[in-house]
């Protein structure tokens, strides 16, 4: 049959990324408690296209991904990109996939168990110049405002927030490691299932442990430093404020080994 995609194009315009986007697909990832976990990802797969090729072979993106979907551990993710690049005869292959990761979590007092969902993503590229891989984990948290607590005669405003950690692949880690660092850096965890005794504990725990978004970001940053020597990482926190019509936000980024502090202005 005629291979139209491989025909020559005379416009001399290279395309940086071409491929498939928004593919919903079942995948398997590593799970610390159960060895593996089955989940569903939204997948974007791309490759570059030289100026003299009319089109890419879209089916090959799915063919290669399907071969690897049952083992998308971090090293295998990069192997999948290498294979995709070779299959398409491309200089660079890209993939980002987004999936819910589930962890069984016990309520703090009753011990009632339920499943918590954390939004995660893998982002990577493979080229002749090297390979790059990032993991992101998004964790819901609760915070109580230190200022509100300090100035109020009773009570303090509290809110749910989201903390996103993005790390460049370095030392091996579990997604649960990132989740634990974030949850202990907040005023209190968020749970799927709480009985009345648990709700009392969570409310009082958060009130006794007020945190600004700045506090959360700095504490998570310190925790990641203790987890291992990541080539780069970032932390961002967003509080969906209960008394404001806007969010509070903070962001910090580490780019070792220098990571210099800026000069302080006096």
pLDDT tens digits, 148-189: 999 999 999 999 999 999 999 888 899 999 999 999 999 999
Checking phi first, is residue 12 left (phi over 0); if not, alpha (psi -120 to 50) or beta? Answer: left
Region of poorest pLDDT, from 42-56, 121-135, 172-186: 42-56
* Residue 38 scores a pLDDT above 50: yes
Checking phi first, is residue 86 left (phi over 0); if not, alpha (psi -120 to 50) or beta? Answer: alpha
Domain residue limits, the chain: 11-254
**What distance in Å separates the CA atoms of residue 196 and residue 108, rounded to the nearest whole number?**
11
* Residue-level pLDDT at 10: 57
* Residue 258 scores a pLDDT above 90: no
* Residue-level pLDDT at 262: 52
* Residue 2 scores a pLDDT above 60: no
Region of poorest pLDDT, from 89-103, 127-141, 190-204, 243-257: 243-257
Q: Which CATH superfamily is domain 11-254 in?
A: Urate Oxidase; (3.10.270.10)
Q: Tell me how far CA of residue 75 lies from CA of 44, 119, 149, 162, 171, in angstroms.
A: 18, 20, 46, 28, 12
Could you tell me the pLDDT band of residue 15, with boundaries at 50, 70 and 90?
confident
* Residue 259 scores a pLDDT above 80: no
Give the CA-trace dihedral at 222, 223, 227, 229, to 10 degrees.
-20
- Between 113 and 71, the more confident residue is 113
Q: What is the mean pLDDT of the chain?
A: 90
* Residue-level pLDDT at 57: 79
**What distance in Å separates the CA atoms of residue 204 and residue 208, rounded to the nearest whole number?**
6
């Amino acid at each position: 049959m005629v291979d139209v995609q491989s025909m020559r194009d005379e416009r001399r315009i290279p395309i940086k990324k071409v491929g498939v986007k928004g593919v919903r697909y079942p995948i398997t990832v590593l799970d610390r408690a159960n060895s593996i976990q089955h989940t569903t990802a939204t997948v974007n797969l791309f490759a570059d296209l030289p100026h003299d090729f009319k089109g890419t072979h879209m089916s090959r993106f799915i063919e290669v991904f399907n071969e690897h979907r049952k083992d998308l551990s971090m090293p295998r993710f990069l192997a999948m990109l290498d294979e995709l690049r070779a299959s398409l005869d491309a200089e660079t292959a890209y993939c980002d996939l987004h999936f819910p990761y589930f962890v069984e979590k016990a309520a703090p007092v009753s011990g009632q168990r339920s499943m918590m969902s954390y939004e995660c993503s893998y982002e990577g590229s493979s080229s002749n110049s090297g390979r790059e891989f990032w993991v992101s984990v998004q964790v819901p948290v609760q915070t109580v405002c230190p200022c509100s607590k300090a100035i109020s005669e009773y009570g303090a405003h509290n809110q749910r927030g989201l903390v996103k950690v993005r790390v460049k692949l370095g030392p091996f880690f579990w997604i649960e490691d990132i989740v634990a660092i974030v949850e202990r850096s907040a005023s209190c965890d968020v749970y799927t299932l709480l009985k009345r005794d648990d709700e009392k504990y969570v409310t009082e725990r958060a009130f006794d442990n007020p945190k600004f978004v700045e506090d959360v970001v700095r504490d998570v940053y310190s925790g990641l430093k203790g987890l291992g020597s990541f080539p780069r990482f970032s932390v961002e926190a967003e509080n969906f404020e209960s008394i404001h019509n806007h969010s509070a936000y903070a962001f910090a980024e580490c780019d070792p080994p220098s990571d210099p502090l800026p000069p302080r202005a006096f």
